[in-house]
Amino acid sequence: MKTTALPFSHLAQRAGRPFAALVTAAAMSFTAVAAHAATEMPPIPEVQGDVVEGDGNDYNLKFNIGLTQSSAQYRGLEYFKKIVEERGDGHITVEAFHSAQLGDDLQSVSALQAGTLEMTAPSTSPMVSMFPQFAVFDLPFLFPQPEDADRVLDGEIGQQMLEEASSKGLVAIGWAENGYRQLTDSGVAVSEPSDLEGLKIRTMQNPIHLDIWRTLGANPTPMSFAELFTALEQNVVDGQENPWNTIKSSRFNEVQQYATETNHVYTPFITLVSERFWNRLPESYQQLLREAATDMGEYEREVSRSMSDQIKQDLADSGMEITTLTPEQVAVFQETLEPVYAQWRDKIGGDLIDSIRDEASAEQQ
């Protein structure tokens, strides 16, 4: 099916609302969520669920992530550990590692395939060379509101993607939230694409992200997350883009003066297990890990969303100049990036893009 309508107007049409109203609704929903933001991380929940009997053998799993110990991602990992060890019958333990201690995203995925690491939870973006369908999540402004991403990831499309990613030595058992990405830089206060001219922006190792920042007029540089803070500190790059929780937990405000709330891409985390380890587990423990991954993802979303307003305030208090775009300014970024949809539609698959847009814009039942 050839879509002739403009991507974002198309989204508005499907949502049955005028284009500007859709953008305003998205902005208001962020404000609404932010207005009720907690001032600190929500407490780690009590563990619910029956005790799970294993096969009498002992299993220890190392779970490595790229973000720091103060990130929402690590808080989710602490909850995952609590669930597995409290619901397991004492024969399964979790060792939690942060800040890429055991390798960055791509190194961790390779270690799972080799069987030298048991679990990790990377962004989908650096994995598109292994799973091209993940590139759909890198399309700009795909999800107008967080609930739209939840509906897709928790529904048939998300389940299908987990099944497809359960290959190549990996077992994909759940989704979690990295979140909506925001721009930071050390050069200028950015409020329109022309402000980006000549700025060196670090991107994830992902071709769509490179296209996004080239199209906006910047000079993009792909780099692993583990190298990013040093690259910013040494002015190897001028800026980067990540969710608020990452900007704060990775202390980017110490090496970046400006931030712009662009919400230009929503990035999920995908929770992965080494297939070699998985196949050694009794089925009862496999089911326990699946349930713990689902609970971790839901909790991580809550932590990520409930803290964004407080984090923005903390960053401003630390001296960062934060630019909040008007709906009209957001529309300029969206319209400038429309060619990225056209460039990538055939490579990603028009049917997948349309099914995600339909699911994302469907009213909550």
**Which of 7, 54, 66, 220 touches ligand KDG (CB under 6 A)?**
66
Q: Quote the least distance from Cβ 174 to ligand KDG, whole Å.
A: 14
**Which of 63, 225, 252, 341 touches ligand KDG (CB under 6 A)?**
225
Residue 313: count other Cβ atoms within 10 Å of its Cβ: 14
Q: Rule CB under 6 A: is residue 128 a binding residue for ligand KDG?
A: no
Q: Rule CB under 6 A: is residue 204 a binding residue for ligand KDG?
A: yes
Q: Quote the least distance from Cβ 195 to ligand KDG, whole Å.
A: 21
Q: Quote the least distance from Cβ 66 to ligand KDG, whole Å.
A: 2
**Which of 7, 97, 105, 148 touches ligand KDG (CB under 6 A)?**
105
> For ligand KDG, how many residues bind (rule: CB under 6 A)?
11
In the numeric block, which tokens belong to residue 152?
């897709």
Of 8, 351, 334, 333, nearest to 195 (Cα)?
333
Q: Rule CB under 6 A: is residue 65 a binding residue for ligand KDG?
A: yes
Amino acid at 57: N
Within residues 236-275, the interface with ligand KDG by CB under 6 A covers 242, 267
Q: Quote the least distance from Cβ 48 to ligand KDG, whole Å.
A: 27
Binding region for ligand KDG (CB under 6 A) out of 5-13, 60-68, 157-165, 273-281: 60-68
Of 228, 217, 225, 221, nearest to 190 (Cα)?
217
Locus of tokens 């609970």: 295
Q: How do the residues of the chain divide into helix, strand and coil, expressed in percent and rounded to 5? A: 50, 15, 35
Q: Rule CB under 6 A: is residue 64 a binding residue for ligand KDG?
A: no
Non-local CB neighbours of 24 within 8 Å, separated by 6+ positions: 327
**Which of 11, 26, 87, 178 touches ligand KDG (CB under 6 A)?**
178
CA distance 111 to 169: 10
Q: Quote the least distance from Cβ 115 to ligand KDG, whole Å.
A: 20
Binding region for ligand KDG (CB under 6 A) out of 61-69, 136-144, 147-155, 332-340: 61-69
Q: Rule CB under 6 A: is residue 212 a binding residue for ligand KDG?
A: no
Q: Quote the least distance from Cβ 241 to ligand KDG, whole Å.
A: 7
What does 3-59 look like in DSSP terms, one character per residue? --S-HHHHHHHHHTS-HHHHHHHHHHHHHHHHHT--SSPPPPPPP-S--B---S--E
Bridge partners, 219 (sequence order): 200
**Which of 22, 23, 67, 77 touches ligand KDG (CB under 6 A)?**
67
Is 214 or 280 the residue whose CB approaches ligand KDG more closely? 214
Is 15 or 303 the residue whose CB approaches ligand KDG more closely? 303
Binding region for ligand KDG (CB under 6 A) out of 59-67, 78-86, 312-320, 327-335: 59-67
Locus of tokens 């619910």: 48
Burial 248-267 (b: 16+ CB within 10 A, else e): bbbebbebbebbbbbbbbbb
Is 178 or 361 the residue whose CB approaches ligand KDG more closely? 178
Locus of tokens 């939840």: 150
What does 75-106 look like in DSSP terms, one character per residue? HHHHHHHHHHHHHB-SSEEEEEE-TTTT--HH
User: What residue ranges bind ligand KDG (CB under 6 A)?
Assistant: 65-67, 105, 122-123, 178, 204, 225, 242, 267
